[in-house]
Structure 1
Amino acid sequence: MGLVDLFRRGPEPERLLVFLGNPGREHAGARHNIGWRVGRKMLADNPGPGPRRRYRGRLAVREIGGDPVGLLFPHTFMNASGKSVRAALGGLGLATDRLVVIHDDMDLGFASLRVRFGGSAGGHRGIRSIIAALGTNQFLRFKLGIGRPPPGLDPAEYVLQGFTRAQKPAVERMVAAAQAGLSEAGIATPEQLMNRFNRNWADPH
């Protein structure tokens, strides 16, 4: 069965990966959109039909680890991400334990990846929206560290800026690590994922 069949009439996704960010070209390279960057890389490395408008966002389906997996890019803007996630889980008939959310984290050191199950929103408005919409925090997260802004720079402005040229190699390593972890999320336990991928990826070694 081809990927088009999977999307149109084949088995629905067994898991849902949600990549948080803001729509629009002006946000494409922003720190706040690092989740989308992971999703775009997964789409590029797993060719198939492009994302289609569904569930207040864009949804693609790919075979990852032998299973059909949904890749959702909410288009509600970050602060209302929960509306898209709730619609997708309901439409696909998935429970929250089949959900993985990938997002930036300003409180993590730059290029640090942290896999975590549950926990608070930690000030992230996209996660806060999802928890409020679902009524639970019991889902897996891949948190990508973008670091704190320098003194005097408003955090709201900082997250909308792009990474510096010097930072980009470390960003790509962190993105690749997140992609590898997400590819194993269907077979590995959260603890196994944490043990393998929770570290700072700024050092190429």
Structure 2
Amino acid sequence: MYLVVGLGNPGDEYKHTRHNVGFDVIDLMADKYNVSINRIKFKGVCTEINIASEKVILLKPSTYMNLSGESVREASSFYKIPNENIIIIYDDISLDAGKLRIRSKGSAGGHNGIKSIISCMSSDIFSRIKIGVGQPQKALIPHVLGRFSKEDRVLVGKAFEASIEATKTIIEKGCTEAMNQFNGFIA
């Protein structure tokens, strides 16, 4: 069993912002697998799909970004999902818009959602799919809570599709194979 978590902030004012790319990918994945994300559980909303004969929980925490770890901990604890079977999808300002980077462990790199997950899980071992949203020109918060330009939206849309494929690859073949295949992906 796997837990796939898209990070973001709940509420219409945050919809399709740079900080909500994780939510966008989970929504697209649910559409692709023809399910609705409508179960309110684990301080979030979730649903179940199957990928390569594995049960997969899709989760969007409703805790706001800085407390995402609470939702991840509740879901992984309830289903007894080991950290190695957790995949977190989120924004990364150190990557150009539309670029992907996959890692199997590591620091939070200044991302508050990842800091919360590491703290709540007492571990930095979980797969991450980072989606580039570009560097802020000025202040960080308005940048991550802002929306993409039309050009960048096209690029990240392609990265979203690649993220869904990367998630499938992690589940089917492991994180190393996904890193080999998708790191360096540029839309």
Unaligned runs of 5+ in 1: 1-13
Find the partner of 2:160 among 171, 175, 178: 175
1: CA distance, partners of 2:36 / 2:113: 27
What letter is aligned with 2:88? V
User: Higher helix proportion, which one?
Assistant: 2
The CA RMSD over aligned residues, in Å, is 1.0
Question: Deviations for 1:112-166, whole angstroms, at most 9, x for unmatched residues?
Answer: 100101110000000000000010001110011111011xx21111000010012
Aligned to 2:50: 63
CA-CA distance at 1:194 after TM superposition: 0.7
Q: Structure 2 residue aligned with 1:103, among 59, 74, 90?
A: 90
1:164 aligns with 2:149: yes
Unaligned 5+ runs, structure 2: none
Q: Which runs of 4+ in 1 moved over 4 A?
A: none
Alignment of 1:120-159 (within 5 A): 120-150=107-137, 153-159=138-144
> In the TM superposition, what is the alpha-carbon distance from 1:48 to its structure 2 partner?
2.6
Q: Rg bigger for which structure?
A: 1
Q: Does 1:187 align with 2:172?
A: yes
Provide the rounded CA distance (Å) in 2 between the counterparts of 1:61 and 1:185.
17
Deviation at 1:49, TM superposition (A): 4.5
> What is the aligned partner in structure 2 of residue 10 from structure 1?
none
Equivalenced residue count is 187
